[in-house]
C-alpha cells in the first residue's frame, strides 16, 4: 500500500513490491498472479465469510434477511477502516482496478444468489435479493470508507437495510 501510495499503481513493479517485502519475485508469484492481486488478496475469504452467513441464516427467514446476514458478516471481516480507505482511493484512481473490483462484486452477488438457490429460493427472487443486498453493501461500504457519516460499517449496513425497507414500504404503502 505504501508503494502504491508513493509511486502510484502503474509505476509500482512486482520487483518493487517483492523487494519491499524482502522476497524474490519468484516468491511473490507463488502467492499472487500479478500486482493487482495484492489489493484483492482477501476477496476469497470475504466471500467465504459472507456466503457462509447466508447459508447459516435460519431456514424460516425471507431471502432478503438471509442476504442481510451475509452482508452484515462483512463488518466482522472488514475492520480496518483506514486500510480500506487507502485501498479504495487507490482502486478509484485506476480503471483497471475499478474493473477488478466490479468483477469481485459480481462474483459475490452470484455466490449470494447460488446460496439462496441452495436454500430453496426460486428465481428470480434469489437473484433480485442477492443483487439488492450487494447494492446495500456497496452504499454502506462507500459511506464507511468516505467517512462522510459517523458510525461503524455494521451501522452503515443496518442503515442501508433500513433505508431499503423505507423505500419499499413508502412505495407500496
Rounded Cα distance, 128 and 142, in Å: 21
Same domain, 52 and 29: no
* Pair (93, 162) in one structural domain: yes
pLDDT of 4? 87
How many distinct structural domains can be found in the chain?
Answer: 2
Question: Do 30 and 45 fall into the same domain?
Answer: no
Note the pTM of the prediction, 2 decimals: 0.89
Q: What is the DSSP letter of 123?
A: T
Within 8 A by CB and 6+ apart from 166, the residues are none
Q: CB–CB of 17/36 below 8 Å?
A: no
Question: Is 144 in contact with 158 (CB distance < 8 Å)?
Answer: no
8 and 45 belong to one structural domain: no
Residues 104 and 124 grouped into a single domain: yes
Query: What is the rounded distance in angstroms from the CA atom of residue 94 to the CA atom of residue 137?
Result: 21
For position 1, what pLDDT does the model report?
83
Statement to judge: residues 115 and 67 lie in one domain: yes
**Minimal CA–CA distance to 42: which of 78, 95, 81?**
78
29 plus 64 within the same structural domain: no
C-alpha cell at 111: 455466490
Per-residue confidence (pLDDT) for residue 111, from 0 to 100: 98
- Is the domain of 1 the same as that of 84? no
Q: What is the pLDDT of residue 172?
A: 57
Q: Cell triple for residue 105?
A: 462484486
Q: Which three cell numbers stand for residue 24?
A: 524474490
Would the CA dihedral through 92, 41, 148, 80 be positive or negative?
Answer: negative
- Residue span of the structural domain in which 8 resides: 1-34
Mean pLDDT, 10 residues at a time, the chain of 173 residues: 87 93 92 90 93 97 97 96 93 94 96 98 98 97 89 95 89 57
Give residue 171's pLDDT: 60
CATH number of the CATH domain containing 4: 1.10.10
- Shared domain for 60 and 140, answered yes or no, is yes
Residues 92 and 115 in one domain: yes
Q: Return the CATH number at 166.
A: 1.10.357.10
Between the alpha carbon of residue 85 and those of residues 63, 77, 116, 148, the distances in Å are 31, 15, 31, 12
Same-domain status, 136 and 108: yes
Q: Do 132 and 57 belong together in one domain?
A: yes
- How many other C-beta atoms can be found within 10 angstroms of the C-beta atom of residue 35? 19
Amino acid at each position: 500500500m505504501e508503494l502504491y501510495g508513493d509511486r502510484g499503481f502503474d509505476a509500482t513493479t512486482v520487483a518493487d513490491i517483492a523487494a519491499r517485502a524482502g522476497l524474490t519475485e519468484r516468491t511473490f508469484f507463488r502467492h499472487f498472479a500479478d500486482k493487482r492481486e495484492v489489493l484483492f488478496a482477501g476477496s476469497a475469504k470475504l466471500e467465504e465469510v459472507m456466503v457462509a452467513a447466508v447459508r447459516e441464516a435460519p431456514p424460516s427467514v425471507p431471502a432478503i434477511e438471509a442476504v442481510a446476514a451475509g452482508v452484515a458478516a462483512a463488518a466482522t471481516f472488514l475492520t480496518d477502516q483506514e486500510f480500506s480507505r487507502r485501498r479504495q482511493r487507490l482502486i478509484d484512481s485506476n480503471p483497471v482496478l475499478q474493473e477488478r473490483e466490479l468483477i469481485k462484486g459480481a462474483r459475490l452477488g452470484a455466490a449470494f444468489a447460488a446460496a439462496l438457490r441452495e436454500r430453496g429460493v426460486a428465481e428470480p427472487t434469489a437473484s433480485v435479493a442477492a443483487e439488492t443486498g450487494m447494492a446495500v453493501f456497496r452504499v454502506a461500504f462507500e459511506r464507511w470508507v468516505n467517512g462522510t457519516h459517523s458510525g461503524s460499517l455494521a451501522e452503515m449496513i443496518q442503515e442501508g437495510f433500513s433505508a431499503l425497507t423505507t423505500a419499499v414500504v413508502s412505495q407500496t404503502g
